[in-house]
Structure 1
Amino acid sequence: MDLDRRSLITAALAAAPALASAQPDPAEVIPLWPAGPPGGGGQGLREEMVERAKPGQPADRAVTAVVRPKLTVFRPERPNGHACLIAPGGGYVRVVVDKEGFEFARFLAARGVTAYVLLYRLPSDGWAGGRDAPLQDVQRAIRLVRAATPATSSVSALGFSAGGHLTAQLITRFTERTYAPVDGADRLSARPDVAGLIYPVISMRPETAHAGSRRQLLGETPSAADTAAYSMDTRVTAAAPPTFLVHAADDASVPIENSLGMYAALRRARVATEAHWFEEGGHGFGRRGAAGKPAAATPELFHAWWMRQVARTQAQGEP
């Protein structure tokens, strides 16, 4: 039986203190590009993982200058067949692996979902793919996840902040060929069955954009054409998958207008959409930053909505 929103929020608030426990990283890691990223580039980069947490705090690692894009796999003890690709944020200048990646992956794995956390390349690091290097990585990643998932099960994509922009690119640009096929996985669709966008960067328009993400992706003075092309609310079509949105009204980094615009675009395209707007939470709250607030219900809300989409698809007899 589905829990209602109030029950989910109450359960999340009660469970919040459990986030502080340290857990080892999974040993299973899947490189995206066995022979190196498409087109090469990135010369002189030195990948570095920085621990930003103070002693006694939960891990808060961020990776800069990514040269080895990969998937870290969280396998459940009792898999239900479903899989989720997670793209953490970091303003397109770093990838925040713990609070927007590993913590959500552990939550989903505890519910039977095989979760894959994506470490993706960054757009201003000199790759041949340029600003589409992250899109190459997320397209390749979703295909690898789909190849490892039973055809009868659902594959979702979940993105946070700049990772939300990357996931929004995935759901609007999944038909675009951004790299030459590597193996059989690249014959599979890059469209996730459902998507979740958590306080996402959506717009590149100056009045609503996250300035850092815009600069890293498009440079200091982007053209009007590039601004429009990478504002993902302008790219939505009816082919986009069902999409879930979360944003806090007091987000001072990525204005809530990003999600409001995406929600309106999805609604215009008649794409199944659920949105939750919270009064407080700020930006980048992940799980730990929402503890004690209604936004702490975000993981439960997303998981319950996703499973409803699965049930609806199965009831309609769709593949």
Structure 2
Amino acid sequence: MKKSFNKILILGLAFSIGISSNTFSQENQIPLWDTVPGAKHNKDYKEEPRLDKNGNRTGIKKVTNPSITPYLVNNSSSNNTAVIICPGGAYSVLAIDKEGIDIAKYFNSIGVSAFVLKYRLPTDLIMDNKTIGPLQDAQEAIRTVRRNAKIWNINPNKIGIMGFSAGGHLASTLSTHYNDKVYQSDETNAKPNFSILIYPVISMEDGITHKGSRTNLLGKNASIDLIKKYSNEKQIDANTPPTFLVHATDDLVVPVENSINYYLKLKEYKVRAEMHLYENGGHGFGLGKKGTNVNWTHTLKNWLDINHLLP
């Protein structure tokens, strides 16, 4: 899976001199693959937007060419932190604006570079093994940023993963399955240095999982072993990255126990972790508009600062 290094180098040099990405345009997206691993050709399967009743884009569907879009801080320091953002959407759509672009711009405002990950959504229509497709993209996203850290003025030891809802499941999967050999790669480390999980799907277990996300990723008749493997609270060990979690207690889509159980397992293994549970806010609040969760970004900023991840 050789990378288009010349293309990445040119884009990286452009961004490093202060050309920032303000829109999610095709020109700014950096493809993750020259040849997508495990891909099946389907001429009828093409990327399309999800639109609301007013014609406004609320997400994208049917991703076939995964990419990262850089939002880099204009800072010549080589010690900058970067966060790769995985939008949510039940593994059926990517809420690329609310849980991607808006979040990247927030990180830029506090001096952190960000990359919006447009990952493939699991489907048998374009994948030999849909269960590992998103993880392949997440691993390669980390490796791509780490390979090009010097070009983008990023500290290769300060690269984190962030995910919302099902994107939180992907982020926690990367955080616990970073060593899984899901495609042929070079020796670049795919382990994130920290994780930020916002109202995440974590577990695939009955009674706690988000059933739509589980069905889309694992299929309707997933085996007990597969359910256990991708119930990421069961895959934590002492090497799992430090983690920041946010969830609303009244989340009726993804039960708050997803975050609680992940946190408790991190605590058991003495992994540094911080969790904020809010009284209300429901699911999918993004940066926060109402309810008790509106200030979660302030607590995140403080956590990043205490952990020496802010400039």
1:64 aligns with 2:68: no
Q: Is the 8 A contact 2:249 2:278 kept in 1?
A: yes
Q: Counterpart of 2:65 in 1: which secondary structure?
A: coil
Amino acid at match of 2:122: P
1:198-220 residue CA offsets vs partner (Å, 9 max, x unmatched): 00001111111101001111111
Cα gap change, 1:53/1:272 in structure 2, threshold over 3 Å: closer, same or farther? farther
Q: What does 1:49-88 correspond to in 2, within 5 Å? A: 49-52=49-52, 54=54, 60-78=57-75, 81-88=80-87
Cα gap change, 1:121/1:235 in structure 2, threshold over 3 Å: closer, same or farther? same
Q: Is the 8 A contact 1:60 1:97 kept in 2?
A: no
Match for residue 101 of structure 1?
A: 100
Q: 4+ runs of 1 displaced by more than 6 Å?
A: none
Match for residue 265 of structure 1?
A: 265
Match for residue 172 of structure 2?
A: 168
1:57-90 residue CA offsets vs partner (Å, 9 max, x unmatched): xx65311111010011112234652111000100
Query: What is the CA-CA distance between 1:153 and the residue it aligns to?
Result: 5.4
Cα gap change, 1:79/1:278 in structure 2, threshold over 3 Å: closer, same or farther? farther
C-alpha distance in 2 between matches for 1:297 and 1:242: 21
Cα gap change, 1:45/1:228 in structure 2, threshold over 3 Å: closer, same or farther? same
1:150-198 residue CA offsets vs partner (Å, 9 max, x unmatched): 44651111110000000001110111111112xxxx4221111111010
Query: What is the CA-CA distance between 1:53 and the residue it aligns to?
Result: 6.8
- Provide the TM-score with structure 2 as the length reference: 0.85
User: Structure 1 unaligned runs (5+)?
Assistant: 1-22, 313-319
Q: Counterpart of 1:217 in 2: which secondary structure?
A: helix
Amino acid at match of 2:243: T
CA RMSD of aligned residues (A): 2.1
Query: What is the CA-CA distance between 1:25 and the residue it aligns to?
Result: 3.6
C-alpha distance in 2 between matches for 1:30 and 1:191: 20
Match for residue 239 of structure 1?
A: 239
Amino acid at match of 1:309: N
Q: Is the 8 A contact 1:243 1:272 kept in 2?
A: yes
Q: What does 1:62-211 correspond to in 2, within 5 Å? A: 62-78=59-75, 81-126=80-125, 127-149=127-149, 150-151=154-155, 154-181=158-185, 186-211=186-211
Q: Is the 8 A contact 1:104 1:299 kept in 2?
A: no
User: Structure 2 unaligned runs (5+)?
Assistant: 1-21
Q: Is the 8 A contact 1:83 1:154 kept in 2?
A: yes
Query: What is the CA-CA distance between 1:236 and the residue it aligns to?
Result: 0.4
Q: Is the 8 A contact 2:158 2:309 kept in 1?
A: no
C-alpha distance in 2 between matches for 1:311 and 1:61: 31
Q: Counterpart of 1:250 in 2: which secondary structure?
A: coil
Structure with greater proportional helix content: 1
Q: Is the 8 A contact 1:53 1:60 kept in 2?
A: no
Cα gap change, 1:41/1:79 in structure 2, threshold over 3 Å: closer, same or farther? farther
Query: What is the CA-CA distance between 1:301 and the residue it aligns to?
Result: 1.9
C-alpha distance in 2 between matches for 1:90 and 1:189: 27
Amino acid at match of 2:278: F
C-alpha distance in 1 between matches for 2:308 and 2:179: 23
Amino acid at match of 1:73: P
Q: Is the 8 A contact 1:52 1:62 kept in 2?
A: no
C-alpha distance in 1 between matches for 2:70 and 2:195: 19
Amino acid at match of 2:93: R
Amino acid at match of 1:67: T
C-alpha distance in 2 between matches for 1:304 and 1:101: 21
Q: Counterpart of 1:215 in 2: which secondary structure?
A: helix
Q: Is the 8 A contact 2:135 2:174 kept in 1?
A: yes
Q: Counterpart of 2:85 in 1: which secondary structure?
A: strand
Cα gap change, 1:174/1:206 in structure 2, threshold over 3 Å: closer, same or farther? same
Cα gap change, 1:139/1:112 in structure 2, threshold over 3 Å: closer, same or farther? same
Query: What is the CA-CA distance between 1:39 and the residue it aligns to?
Result: 2.4
Q: Is the 8 A contact 1:164 1:198 kept in 2?
A: yes
C-alpha distance in 1 between matches for 2:275 and 2:221: 32
Query: What is the CA-CA distance between 1:28 and the residue it aligns to?
Result: 2.1
Q: Is the 8 A contact 1:45 1:125 kept in 2?
A: no
Match for residue 19 of structure 2?
A: none
1:96-122 residue CA offsets vs partner (Å, 9 max, x unmatched): 101011111000012221110001011
- Provide the TM-score with structure 1 as the length reference: 0.83
Q: Counterpart of 1:295 in 2: which secondary structure?
A: coil
